[in-house]
Structure 1
């Protein structure tokens, strides 16, 4: 089979397309014939070596975190799927492999694809959908009626986070570009701020929680709008001491993570709020819940008009790096 592999960590890393044997599967795994794989900022973090302290890989390693495809073969202990089923997943961080014609996936990470979506559309769901679910239900755990603000929430994350938050009974405020306003309101957002017209830190206050999608440079503004006792959860700003303590890491990794997040932890403590970092994990049962929401609300994830083949994987990664795309960048392997 053809696969795109990382051989050297680098800021502008390049993947090599090579030929490998089709993976063998364990008893609890499913062999998936990949129809589409998504290119994500997470791939940049891995390829650049930014995560190697926590998640190091023996190289060469086949890249790719998010796939949609069909079941090709079942492990002897797998009973929830059948050959030919259309499935999708966020792959486990310790065993990537989505940028390939076939990938072995633990059955616990898989879910049936939403009906009515193509493989290209479906592959845009797992990473953002699971991120939104885990942010709301595992990290923040806000009571009904609480207010959550998502700066930069007009993209693919907000497309799933907004309805999930509304289903939990939360008041949802989003900021983003003007063209996405109506779509976010249609999904249930209670208030939308056009970032070109309003600075959210000047108009919002006493917010219960913020889900940061923008990164470390935005943290001071996000902290400023939280009430005392509020929560800041970041998807981009980086891990901290709490992440190290709860992530199952070795002692030296916990030390390094604590040092890396010390500045933000101190800023949060000064404001009287808590800071957490989320690194999403695969979970097939949670993905089933997300799938039902996608089907009920007829959500069609935004996919960039330019779709790439596996041989063009480096062009796809460059498109993701530059941000010159509208919707998820997709590799089509079928």
Structure 2
């Protein structure tokens, strides 16, 4: 089968399409014929070695973190799935490999493909959906009646996070560009701030939670609008001591992340705010809940119209790294 692989970490890594054997499965895995795989910034972080302290890989490494496909074989101890089922998955971080014609995946990491999505749009859903679900339920432990603000939440993350937050009874405020106002309000946002005409930090105060999608440059502004005892969850700013401890990393890695996140933890602690960083994990049980939210709300993730195939993997990665895709970039099989 064809697989898109790297042979080492490099700041300018090049992916090669190689012929490798179709993987064998163990008793707890399914063999999936891949139909589509999404290309994310996570691939860039993995290829450059930026996440090797969190997860180090052996080479050659088949890249790719989320996919859709059809089950072709089922392990002896797998329950709830059968040959012919259409599935989607955020692959386990320890065993990625979505950029291949077949993938062996632990059944705990897959969910049935939502009925309103096809293979292409479905490939854009699991990573974002799980990030939103784990962020709201686990990291923030948000409760009904509380308020969450998502700066830059008018894109693909907000598309999933807003209905999940609303299903928990939260008030949702989002900032973004003027073109996205209509669809963001339609997704369930209670208030929309147009960043081209308004500064959210001048409009908001005493919110319970902020989910940061923009990175370190917004950290101080985000802290300024959170009430004492609130939480700031970042998808971009960087890991800290809490993240390393929760992940169960070794002592020396915990020390490194403690140093790396010290200035963010210090600023947050001064305001009696908790700073959290998330690195999303696979979870099939959560995908079941996300599937229901996708179906109930008619969510269809935005997908960039450019058609890429496995031979075009380097062009697809370049578009994610330096272009302006109009949604998730998808590799079709």
Q: TM-score, normalised by structure 2?
A: 0.98
Aligned residue number for residue 121 of structure 2: 121
Aligned residue number for residue 191 of structure 1: 191
Aligned residue number for residue 50 of structure 1: 50
Alignment of 1:1-334 (within 5 A): 1-333=1-333
1:311 Cα deviation from its structure 2 partner: 0.3
Query: What are the Cα deviations for residues 286-326 of structure 1, in whole angstroms up to 9, with x where unaligned?
Result: 00100011111111110001020000000000000114111
C-alpha distance in structure 2 between counterparts of 1:83 and 1:121, whole Å: 22
Which runs of 5 or more structure 1 residues have no equivalent in the other structure? none
Query: What are the Cα deviations for residues 128-186 of structure 1, in whole angstroms up to 9, with x where unaligned?
Result: 00111101111111221111000110111100100110111111000111111111101
C-alpha distance in structure 1 between counterparts of 2:53 and 2:116, whole Å: 40
1:272 Cα deviation from its structure 2 partner: 1.6
C-alpha distance in structure 2 between counterparts of 1:323 and 1:152, whole Å: 18
Instruction: Give 3-state SS (helix, strand or coil) of 1:184's partner.
Output: helix
Instruction: Give 3-state SS (helix, strand or coil) of 2:248's partner.
Output: coil
Instruction: Give 3-state SS (helix, strand or coil) of 1:148's partner.
Output: strand
1:4 Cα deviation from its structure 2 partner: 0.5
C-alpha distance in structure 2 between counterparts of 1:236 and 1:24, whole Å: 36
C-alpha distance in structure 1 between counterparts of 2:24 and 2:85, whole Å: 19
C-alpha distance in structure 2 between counterparts of 1:323 and 1:267, whole Å: 33
C-alpha distance in structure 2 between counterparts of 1:171 and 1:193, whole Å: 14
C-alpha distance in structure 2 between counterparts of 1:12 and 1:196, whole Å: 34
Instruction: Give 3-state SS (helix, strand or coil) of 1:263's partner.
Output: helix
Q: TM-score, normalised by structure 1?
A: 0.98
C-alpha distance in structure 1 between counterparts of 2:95 and 2:6, whole Å: 13
Instruction: Give 3-state SS (helix, strand or coil) of 2:233's partner.
Output: strand
C-alpha distance in structure 1 between counterparts of 2:234 and 2:180, whole Å: 22
